[in-house]
A and B are shown apart, each in its own frame.
Chain A
Amino acid sequence: MELILETLGLAESAQLLSLSPPGWGANLLRGLANSLQIAFGAFGFGLLIGLFGACGKLYGGPVVRDLLAIYTTVIRAVPELVLILILYYVGTDLINKLASMMGYGRVEISGIVAGIWVLGIVQGAYSTEVLRGAIQAVPKGQIEAARAFGMPAFMTMRRVTIPAMMSFATPGLANLWLIATKDTALLAIVGFSELTLETRQAASSTRAYFTFFLAAGALYLLVTLFSGLIFGWIEKWARRGQPSLKGGR
């Protein structure tokens, strides 16, 4: 193994990327773990917002609908980086005000929570649109049938609408998950030590820019490809029982 690396001239890179202290591999992996944690949290939080947002857009009153339209339009027109800064400052300000009202001192907010809150709100706008489209694609008769059986609204949602819309929503949600993993890189700019920032620190202290940036790129790419595989399974599962489109026509 070492001989192969030596002949390829990669020995130095391998040493820099090794997991034990002189190498920076452990830092990169820790950054990746942070990134994934935030991406998971933000995706979940966004999904929650999206579910309520989609229901509000479809079944809500005129005021709710207009407010949600403003939310999704504004979030999708402003760069994520700017939103991250605004939401970060607003969030920390609000929490500190609340804390001082209740008599506590300044609160230190953990980077992970801040990242999840900020990216979750951004993701929420996109998943509102994805889920709205998916719910609309569910045949009306199915929801009407559930109502006719006297199912309460929440049970209709849980047992009919959500399972039936899954197959329509999965491609869009897969896309959103990929956006979430890539958007975590933006948190590097507000100083949160996720994969991109760890990479930059490692690169600028060793001057081996290509090694580290390419390694980080490979890690992101692995996440992307692996998620593609998993979402492929989820879509297959969500489509179970539906006639295949390939042979149908």
Chain B
Amino acid sequence: MTLRSLMQPHRIVLMLLFTALVLWCAFSLRWDWIPKYAPLALEGLWTTIWILLVTTFLGFLLAVPLGLAQAIGPWYLSVPARTFCTIIRGTPLLLQIWLLYYGLGSLFPQFPWIRSSELWPYLRQAWPYAVLALTLSYAGYEGEVMRGAFSGVNKGQLEAAKAFGMPRFTMFRRVWLPQAIRNVLPTLGGETILQLKATPLVATITIVEIYSVSSRVRADTFIVYEPLLLLAVSYMLIAGIITLAFRRFENKVPS
């Protein structure tokens, strides 16, 4: 969008109206709770961001074998992979999170060897379940995308790599995977924003991220709209940053 396209008369009017709305919000709504809750909100924001980064990274690592298994795997690999993707995509994420947290959380204490293991202090907290659920969910959606990406790479490229005598793993690392990722970069960006929009669900299993901070403000002070508006704006900002980052990345890769 250029400056010239922004300077059309109707857009100027809309922008003025929008500025007026923002000013009205700033002056006539209540914002006096912000200083008190700012440290908590920043902590929540950080939790949201690290959960997003960790789960997209791990989910993508899991999605590559899932996509590969569906694209070229023998039936004993492709059928389980496809079943996994169907189940993840066919059930609500909230249900998956609750199944893992309440289900596994009630199952683990029954085994004494888990309770005495070194992992137990972590397993008693909520975040491993949140990370696991979000990772599996991202992997399920992304596995489907990667399947298409792997089968979409031009066969000639792979044949050329083979003709150069590349070992299979090198061929995968240097030719197949980079091209597959390049083709689906826009989809990956969209999926990452979807993942960002899934993070508030982990607030239901007692993780203090930015959404649960806003719920807490609402519960403590009975202010309804202001925390929610601020929350929506901060999600929009993060989504905007993700979009910009992916656009930069897309511009960098040769097409």
Q: Which residues of A contact B (CB under 8 A)?
A: 62-63, 66-67, 74, 76-83, 85-86, 89, 178, 182-186, 188-189, 196, 199-200, 203-204, 207, 209-210, 213-214, 216-217, 220-221, 224-225
Given A79-B200, A196-B98: A182 touches B91 (CB 8 Å cut-off):
yes
A242 to chain B, nearest CB (A): 23
Q: 25 pairs across A/B with beta carbons < 8 Å?
A: A62-B10, A63-B14, A66-B10, A77-B193, A77-B240, A79-B197, A81-B200, A89-B224, A182-B91, A183-B92, A185-B92, A185-B93, A186-B201, A188-B94, A196-B92, A200-B98, A204-B102, A209-B103, A213-B98, A216-B95, A217-B96, A217-B99, A221-B86, A221-B87, A225-B90
Measured in the bound complex, the distance between the Cα atoms of B193 and A184 in whole Å is 20
Taken together as a complex, chains A and B put the C-alpha atoms of A216 and B228 apart, in Å, by 30
| Residue numbers in B under 8 Å from A224 (CB-CB) | 86, 89-91
- Residue among B87, B90, B106, B196 with the most chain A CB within 10 A? B90
- Report which B residues bind A (CB closer than 8 A): 8, 10-11, 14, 86-87, 89-96, 98-99, 102-103, 106-107, 193, 196-201, 204, 211, 224-225, 228-229, 231-232, 235-236, 239-240
Which residues of chain B have C-beta atoms less than 8 A from A220's C-beta?
90-92, 95
CB-contact partner of A82 in B89, B204, B231, under 8 A: B231
Tell me if B107 and A210 are in contact (CB < 8 A): yes
Cβ of A66 and Cβ of B102 under 8 Å apart? no
Residues in chain B near residue A189, CB distance under 8 A:
94, 204
Partner of A77, one of B11, B102, B231, B236: B236
Q: Would B103 and A210 count as touching, CB distance under 8 A?
A: yes
**Known A200-B102, A209-B103, A221-B90; further 4 A-B contacts with Cβ < 8 A:** A66-B14, A86-B229, A86-B232, A183-B92
Q: Is the CB of A207 within 8 A of B14?
A: no
CB-based closest 7 A-B pairs? A185-B92, A224-B90, A213-B99, A79-B197, A77-B239, A209-B103, A182-B92
Contacts of A207 in B (CB 8 A): 106
Given A204-B102, A224-B90, A82 and B198 contact (CB-CB distance below 8 Å): no
Contacts of B225 in A (CB 8 A): 86, 89
CA distance A77 to B194 in the complex (A): 9
Interface centre among A83, A85, A178, A214 (most CB of B within 10 A): A85
Q: Is the CB of B235 within 8 A of A77?
A: yes
- By a CB distance below 8 angstroms, the chain A residues around B228 are 82, 85-86, 89
Q: Are B99 and A81 in contact (CB under 8 A)?
A: no
A203 and B224: CB pair below 8 A? no
B211 touches A81 (CB 8 A): yes
Tell whether, in the assembled complex, residue A80 and residue B107 are in contact, meaning their CB atoms are under 8 Å apart: no
Least CB distance, B105 to chain A, in whole angstroms = 8
CA distance A62 to B228 in the complex (A): 30
Chain B residue at minimum C-beta to C-beta distance from A216: B95
Judging by beta carbons under 8 Å apart, are A209 and B95 in contact? no
Question: How many angstroms between the C-alpha atoms of A216 and B94 in the bound complex?
Answer: 12
Contact B8 A185 (CB under 8 A): no
Of chain B, the residue at the smallest CB distance from A187 is: B94
Q: What is the distance, in angstroms, from B107's C-beta to the closest C-beta of chain A? A: 7
List chain B residues, Cβ under 8 A from A78: 197, 232, 235-236, 239
**B211 touches which one: A62, A82, A217 (CB < 8 A)?**
A82
Query: In the complex, which residues of chain B have a beta carbon less than 8 angstroms from the beta carbon of A210?
Result: 99, 103, 107
Q: How far is the CB of B8 from chain A (nearest CB, A)?
A: 7
B90 touches A213 (CB 8 A): no
Instruction: Please indicate the chain A residues that have their CB under 8 angstroms from the CB of B93 in the complex.
Output: 182, 185
Indicate which residue in B95, B201, B204, B239 contacts A217 across the interface (CB closer than 8 Å).
B95
Q: Please, which residue of chain B has its CB at the minimum distance from the CB of A74?
A: B236
Query: Which residue on chain A has the smallest CB distance to residue B107?
Result: A210
The answer on a CB contact under 8 Å between B8 and A213 is no
Most chain B C-beta atoms within 10 Å of own C-beta, residue among A78, A196, A217: A78
The smallest C-beta distance from B16 to any residue of chain A, in angstroms, reads 13
Centre residue among B98, B193, B239 by max chain A CB count within 10 A:
B98
Q: Judging by beta carbons under 8 Å apart, are B200 and A82 in contact?
A: yes
B243 to chain A, nearest CB (A): 9
CA separation between A217 and B98, bound complex, in Å?
11
The distance from the CB of B43 to the nearest CB of chain A, in whole angstroms, is: 19
Report Cα–Cα, A209/B239, bound state, in Å: 34
Tell me which residues across on chain B come within 8 A of A89, comparing CB atoms.
224-225, 228
Question: For B197, what are the chain A residues with a Cβ–Cβ distance below 8 Å?
Answer: 78-80
Interchain CA distance A148-B107 in the complex, whole Å: 70
CA distance A188 to B102 in the complex (A): 16
Partner of B94, one of A82, A85, A186: A186
